[in-house]
Structure 1
Amino acid sequence: MSVESFDPQAVTVEITDKAAAHFKKQLQADSNGARGVRLSIKESGCTGYMYVLDLVPEARDGDEIIHLADGVEVYLDPASLPVIRGTTIDFVTEGVNRQLAFLNPNARDYCGCGESFNIG
């Protein structure tokens, strides 16, 4: 049996300034009045899990909230925390493409298309 220590002050997910600016831009463009971005995972793809980002009006009960600059909030699904803990979210440019990148220390394998990952 192993024992994990839990530090409630530890950052669960780190969001770079570039990713925060991207989230702010997406929220400003949303016509449905979203106030935050909710991060969760779902079982999908060829390797197991995929990230899900939704623009939402508010956090759900139990969500962990990360407050970013300019009033932007990111809500973390509590059921997804064991898989996303320690992840850094960045907004990167690769050639002519710009996209969010998830640097997850828990991920072991990625599918060839980059849409899903495995933690096993």
Structure 2
Amino acid sequence: MAEAFKFELVSPERLLVSEQVEHVVIPGAEGEMTVLANHSPVMTTVKPGVVTVKSAGGGEERYVVFGGFADILPEGCTLLAESAVRVAEIDRDDLARRIQEAREDAADAKSDDERTRAEAFLGQLATLQDAV
């Protein structure tokens, strides 16, 4: 059994998780990362995706996050999400609405840089839709 550490998943609306866990998989901006106890300190932005949490008791829970950042320390990890919900509670209509808005943002972009960011976000949302 892996060593446990404190993990918190916080959205503006509520605290979704605050418990001892064995590991957490986070959709970091540079790719997925697995956080274990005694992880080296790092802070990363989080892209839209699925966070997988394996509790110290052995259960596993999955959450959809729509961006944010994670603060990882040897003794714990805090993920501050722009928006988050359990995968089982995902509102597929809301996800479809977000995808449509991202398409519109890409189409309405006034610069190449703005268009590139909007298209990247759209791609992340589409990947998320496939994952849930």
User: Do they fold alike, i.e. is TM over 0.5?
Assistant: no
TM-score by length of 1: 0.28
TM-score by length of 2: 0.27
Relative CO higher for 1 or 2, CA cutoff 8 Å, sep ≥ 6?
1
Greater strand fraction, Structure 1 or Structure 2:
2
In our comparison, the structure showing a higher alpha carbon Rg is 2
